[in-house]
Amino acid sequence: MKEIELKDPYTVAYKGIYAVCDRDNQYAEIIEHTNCYGGAAWSKFHYSHSPLILETRSIGNMIRYLVRTGASTLELKASRSAAGIESVIVSGDEVHITYAGLGGGGVGATKCRAFAEGVLRFKCTESGGGRAARGTIVVPRRERVLIGIDDTDTKETGATWTLTHNIARKLDCMESVYLSHTLVQLYPVAARTQNCVATVLEFACVNEDSKKELLESFREALVKYSVSDQTGMVVLPDFDAKHVCRYSKQCRSGELTKDYAMRYAKEHGIDVWMDGNGIIGALASLAWFARPDESVRLDAEIE
């Protein structure tokens, strides 16, 4: 028999908690990277009743809460709405997130989140048993950076989705957190390598310097490791990619030209970092960030 020693038997610290904000700080996405999906799924259900929550979804072991910033009043009820996000306040380059919960939900709302990576500081009440508890964590304010890539491989060598993921893993850090990787099925044009799939990567950066370092390092790695001379890399630093949806739909339903892709990117404020023919698919991929289950289907639509 193996004897088990638990340093803190009633705390399961989250891997990380990140707050991505829009430019006006009116909306935020709270992204929780969990070490225990079962507990996070319970939170996902109960938190969805919080007045600030606009959308709740999970991707792998990350739970994502799209919220209005501000404060609210939670009506905690055992078994039905036993925990939630009470407030999301943006203050300068920090975001203050207050959680509340009953019983085990109170434990999750306080210590489990307080000890997540990236938390700058925290304040919480006693939790556990039958009591209600509250905890406020302070995390860096982040902005979203989307990188669309296509055509890094040949018919003989490589796959874009593997190369881009491996580069992203190497660049993942507290200043530029690697949040998601999405394969986007495109219309199977004649000039495709094989399956006609582009990739969009999502990062959350704390400031302009971290964005610049991330993007320059990413391009340098693509230049070094791509086996194609037609690699395309486009960048969109924005909270959402709604203005790319029309182009993406066109690219997923027919064949487009490079000239059209370049013109569309320029007209919609999307930066072209590598201008090979791959920008046609790279641009289309942006609209599908963090939608990996839908993006692989050509019949899926996004608004």
pLDDT tens-place string over residues 186-227:
988 766 556 689 999 999 999 999 999 999 999 999 999 999
Q: CA–CA separation, 168 vs 179, rounded Å?
A: 9
**Locus of tokens 């310097």:** 209
Cα distance between residue 34 and residue 14, in whole Å? 5
- Delimit the domains of the chain by residue range: 16-141, 151-295
pTM for the full predicted model: 0.93
The confidence score (pLDDT) of residue 128 equals: 63
The domain over range 151-295 is classified in CATH as 3.50.50.60: no
User: Percentage of the chain surpassing pLDDT 70?
Assistant: 95
pLDDT of 200: 98
DSSP string, 234-286: EEE-SS--GGGHHHHHHHTTS---HHHHHHHHHHTTPEEEEESTTHHHHHHHG
Q: Please tell me the distance from the alpha carbon of residue 289 to that of residue 149, in angstroms, as a whole number.
A: 12
User: What counts of helices (H) and strands (E) characterise the chain?
Assistant: 9, 13
Percent of the residues in the chain that have a pLDDT greater than 90, as a whole number: 73
Of residues 213 and 47, more confidence is placed in 213
Task: List, in order, residues 6 or more apart from 89 with CB less than 8 Å away.
Answer: 69, 70, 71, 95, 96, 98
Q: Among 71-75, 103-107, 121-125, 206-210, where is mean pLDDT lowest?
A: 103-107
How far is Cα 47 from Cα 43, in angstroms, rounded to an integer? 6
